[in-house]
């Protein structure tokens, strides 16, 4: 969204072990902690944030697991070992290990170049793996948890744990991981052909780019889609559109003219403008359409404005 203030501290671990040690240091210091991926789904409040931000951007490795039988060591396989570790042929083991800072567009591209299907529904979704697992990023053509085999997390006690897909219950826009921090994940895809996967990705992207303000600064959809029964089958964007709220402005924040569920930063907006506008839209939808919209984006409010 390109709004918001600054944090007191920024840590940029480069390995899962450094991430773990950063977590321990933050807890020993008694500081508040925030995890930042690409910030694609976050509205950072104006002012000074008295906390430590751990940015995952340097934890961006993506590689194939060692062997099909040897799942336990999937996360330990480092790119420099690839070639020294026996790997089955690509079409027999279409899996990728990704660390939490791996870019989602990069993962979609890597899978499609390998001719592996399952991630193309996420084409055009910005962000990094950790946030995408935590929020179960996705849309009409699929969700990230559809392809997750295992997630490695740091739990609230600071223990590293591997969670299997079958032991988790991800929901719409919620990976249901509580306060656990995602270290990485093993993604299981399906062998297909590069042409097929790329064709599908291209057509999804065309459809999406036609209806979403993809070239303007935003935090994606601001609200979750409401329960269809409550909203008469209308999406959040449609409810906002039907009330004629597209184009509504507060400072340099504006409800997108293209899609009602996006607020865009026209340039120089403050977080307060964006959040105030989101509240105004939600209040109008509640009053005039009788539907309570729930925010989809995360907000980080500062201690000092």
Binding site for ligand EPU (CB under 6 A): 139-141, 208, 211, 220-221, 224-225, 235-238, 241, 259-261, 296
In terms of CB distance, is 84 or 172 closer to ligand EPU? 172
In the complex, the smallest distance separating the C-beta of residue 119 from ligand EPU, rounded to whole angstroms, is 14
Give catalytic status of residue 58 as yes or no.
no
- Choice among 173, 188, 228, 295 that is catalytic: 173
How many whole angstroms separate alpha carbon 133 and alpha carbon 37?
Answer: 11
In terms of CB distance, is 87 or 299 closer to ligand EPU? 299
In the complex, the smallest distance separating the C-beta of residue 258 from ligand EPU, rounded to whole angstroms, is 7
208: left (phi over 0), alpha (psi -120 to 50) or beta: alpha
CB of 96 within 8 A of CB of 110?
A: yes
DSSP 284: H
Which residue number is nearest to ligand EPU in terms of Cβ?
A: 139
- Tally Cβ neighbours within 10 Å of residue 28: 8
In the complex, the smallest distance separating the C-beta of residue 77 from ligand EPU, rounded to whole angstroms, is 32
In terms of CB distance, is 97 or 275 closer to ligand EPU? 275
Residue in 60, 131, 66 with CA at minimum distance from that of residue 99: 60
Tokens 């400072």 belong to which residue?
Answer: 251
Supply the DSSP string of 126-156, one letter for each residue: -SBHHHHHHTT-EETTEEGGGGEEEEEEE-T
* Cα 192-194-196 angle, rounded to 5 deg: 70
In the complex, the smallest distance separating the C-beta of residue 127 from ligand EPU, rounded to whole angstroms, is 9
In terms of CB distance, is 90 or 176 closer to ligand EPU? 176
Supply the DSSP string of 20-89, one letter for each residue: HHHHHHHHHHT--EEEESS-TTEEEPSSEEEEEEEE-TT---EE--S-SS-GGGGGG--GGGBTTB----
How many whole angstroms separate alpha carbon 192 and alpha carbon 82?
Answer: 23
In the complex, the smallest distance separating the C-beta of residue 157 from ligand EPU, rounded to whole angstroms, is 31
In terms of CB distance, is 112 or 231 closer to ligand EPU? 231
- Which residues are part of the catalytic machinery? 173
């Amino acid at each position: 969204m390109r709004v918001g203030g600054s944090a007191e501290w920024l840590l940029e671990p480069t390995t899962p072990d450094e991430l773990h040690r950063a977590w321990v240091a933050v807890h020993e210091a008694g500081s508040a902690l925030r995890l930042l991926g690409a910030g694609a789904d976050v509205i950072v409040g104006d002012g000074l944030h008295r906390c430590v931000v751990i940015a995952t951007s340097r934890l961006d490795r993506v590689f194939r697991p060692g062997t099909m039988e040897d799942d336990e060591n999937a996360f330990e396989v480092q790119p420099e070992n690839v070639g020294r570790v026996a790997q089955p042929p690509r079409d027999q083991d279409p899996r990728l290990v990704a660390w939490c800072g791996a870019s989602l567009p990069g993962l979609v591209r890597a899978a499609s170049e390998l001719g592996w299907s399952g991630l193309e529904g996420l084409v055009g979704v910005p962000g990094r793996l950790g946030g995408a697992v935590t929020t179960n990023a996705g849309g009409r053509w699929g969700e990230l948890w559809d392809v997750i085999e295992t997630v490695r997390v740091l739990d609230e006690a600071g223990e590293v744990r591997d969670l299997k897909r079958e032991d988790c219950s991800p929901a719409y826009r919620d990976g249901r991981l509580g306060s656990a921090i995602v270290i990485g994940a093993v993604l299981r895809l399906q062998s297909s052909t590069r042409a097929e996967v790329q064709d599908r990705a291209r057509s999804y992207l065309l459809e999406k780019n036609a209806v979403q303000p993809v070239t303007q600064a935003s935090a994606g959809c601001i609200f979750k889609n409401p329960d269809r029964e409550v909203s008469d089958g209308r999406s959040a964007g449609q409810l906002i559109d039907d009330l004629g709220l597209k184009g509504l402005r507060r400072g340099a924040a504006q409800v997108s003219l293209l899609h009602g569920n996006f607020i865009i930063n026209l340039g120089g907006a403050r977080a307060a403008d964006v959040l105030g506008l989101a509240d105004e839209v939600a209040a109008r939808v509640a009053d005039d359409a009788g539907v309570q919209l729930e925010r989809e984006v995360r907000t980080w409010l500062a201690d000092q404005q």
